[in-house]
């Protein structure tokens, strides 16, 4: 396979959301991701998330774990450490998404593993990092959206603090982890020595505050919740009610504002001193929105989309999830991946967004718990007698490993 990351191997002590999402990006690009599942808890908790869950398989788990392999290994078992180190000696990176105090306790750091692999990169993605007063605390996307200020700027002005409809801290954290692993491995291959990578979802969330965070840190700016998901300072840049639904209109450039004025049949608004520039429109947003609300409510969403698209004004319908997946653009670019699963039947999910010329990217179902345990161990030189011995000792927990008869 000519996938871009076909020569990258990662041993991932991961579960649930942020971690599996990050390594799946690398697996989608051809990296070999060996997922370590703890048999004492039934493996990745994502396997048991409802709805659409059957035994140890679920559509939730599939959404985070395609193109990976799975080994079952109880890292707290006295015989497991040697097995773990033998696998670690043959990979480029160790990745974990555990509480910040766990990489030290489980000896997943560079200092713990450099004796078996001096070029190994040990990447930890935790709620708050491995140092500081919160290092021992667990964290979830929902709690971090509150702690990092996201909920204070989401929703309407009269709404209670509101979480994003998507797990964006987890997803952003996964992307950051994927980039950090690549950067660490790149440097290790160049310099011949690995290192620790210490990532915190809280810091990822703070980084996503971006311009609002910069304004607040530099000038004491206090962001507010805007009605109809409006931008903090650019007007118009929000949802508008039409005669039969909702429409998003975005004018983040001055020329787009003037195009909008022409498209709605009100060219004089472009020269109105109240609305001429960015600052004026922001200062007089209530007056402007009163005008625009009446205009957009006069026609259907499809009518406005036809008009605004022809005029070059960025706009879109406010779709539900099903409508988004049914958009013609999705079909044209094969944006839905499909494969058969032994217990879940046909699985359809959003495809990887990576589009790399002349690269054949993999598409395989998520692995069964411990499915590749014997296979991976054989690849690093274990014989069947040794694998059977380890299975009898309980290192693999309740997972049955297939060995030659």
50's tokens: 């409802």
Asked if 22 contacts 44 with a C-beta cutoff of 8 angstroms, the reply is no
Q: Which of 77, 231, 341, 372 is catalytic?
A: 231
DSSP H or E stretch at residue 274? none
Phi, psi of 144 (to 5 degrees): -70, -30
The upper half-sphere exposure of residue 67, i.e. CA atoms within 13 Å in the direction of its Cβ, equals 28
Asked if 336 contacts 330 with a C-beta cutoff of 8 angstroms, the reply is yes
In DSSP notation, 73-133 reads --TTSTTHHHHHHHHHTT-SEEEE-S-TTHHHHTT-SHHHHTTT-TT-EEEEEESS-SSST
Q: Which of 396, 250, 364, 382 is nearest to 316 (CA)?
A: 250
Asked if 97 contacts 19 with a C-beta cutoff of 8 angstroms, the reply is yes
Q: Report whether the peptide linkage leading into residue 236 is cis, meaning its omega lies within 30 degrees of zero.
A: yes
Q: Tell me 161's DSSP state.
A: P
Reduced to 3 states, what is the DSSP secondary structure of residue 279? helix
72-106 burial, b if ≥16 CB within 10 A, otherwise e?
A: bbbbebeebbebbeebbebbbbbbbbbbbebbeeb
Catalytic annotation present for 231: yes
395's tokens: 């290192």
Question: Pairing state of beta strands 69-72 and 57-58?
Answer: unpaired
Q: Tell me 259's DSSP state.
A: H
Reduced to 3 states, what is the DSSP secondary structure of residue 291? helix
Exposed/middle/buried for 255, CB within 10 Å: 0-12, 13-18, 19+?
Answer: exposed
In DSSP notation, 55-85 reads TTEEHHHHHHHTT-EEEE--TTSTTHHHHHH
| Catalytic residue IDs | 231
């Amino acid at each position: 396979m000519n996938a871009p990351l076909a020569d990258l191997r990662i041993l991932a002590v991961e579960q649930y959301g942020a971690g599996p999402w990050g390594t799946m990006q690398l697996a989608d690009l051809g990296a070999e991701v060996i997922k370590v599942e703890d048999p004492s808890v039934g493996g990745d908790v994502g396997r048991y998330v409802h709805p659409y869950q059957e035994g140890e398989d679920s559509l939730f788990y599939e959404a985070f774990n395609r193109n990976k392999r799975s080994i079952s290994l109880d890292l707290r078992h006295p015989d497991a450490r040697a097995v773990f180190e033998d696998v670690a000696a043959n990979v480029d990176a160790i990745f974990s998404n555990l509480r910040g105090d766990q990489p030290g306790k489980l000896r997943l750091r560079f200092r713990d593993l450099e004796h078996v692999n001096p070029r190994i990169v040990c990447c930890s993605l935790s709620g708050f990092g491995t140092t500081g007063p919160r290092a021992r605390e667990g964290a979830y996307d929902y709690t971090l959206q509150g702690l990092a200020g996201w909920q204070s700027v989401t929703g309407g002005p009269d709404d209670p603090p509101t979480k994003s409809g998507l797990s964006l801290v987890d997803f952003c954290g996964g992307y950051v982890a994927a980039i950090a692993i690549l950067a660490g491995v790149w440097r290790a291959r160049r310099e011949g020595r690995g290192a620790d990578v210490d990532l915190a979802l809280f810091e990822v969330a703070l980084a996503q505050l971006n311009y609002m965070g910069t304004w607040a840190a530099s000038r004491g700016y206090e962001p507010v919740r805007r009605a109809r998901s409006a931008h903090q300072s650019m007007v118009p840049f929000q949802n508008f009610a039409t005669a039969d639904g909702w429409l998003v209109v975005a004018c983040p450039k001055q020329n787009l504002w003037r195009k909008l004025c022409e498209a709605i049949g009100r060219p004089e608004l472009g020269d109105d001193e109240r609305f001429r520039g960015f600052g004026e429109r922001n200062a007089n947003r209530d007056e402007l929105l009163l005008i625009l609300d009446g205009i957009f409510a006069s026609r259907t969403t499809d009518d406005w989309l036809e008009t605004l698209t022809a005029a070059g004004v960025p706009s879109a319908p406010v779709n539900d999830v099903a409508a988004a997946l049914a958009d013609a653009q999705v079909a044209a670019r094969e944006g839905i991946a499909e494969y058969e699963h032994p217990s879940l039947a046909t699985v359809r999910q959003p495809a990887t967004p990576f589009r790399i010329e002349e690269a054949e990217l993999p598409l395989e179902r998520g692995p069964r718990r411990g499915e590749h345990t014997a296979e991976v161990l054989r690849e690093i030189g274990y014989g069947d007698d040794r694998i059977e011995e380890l299975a009898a000792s309980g290192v693999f927990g309740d997972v049955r490993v297939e060995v030659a008869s």
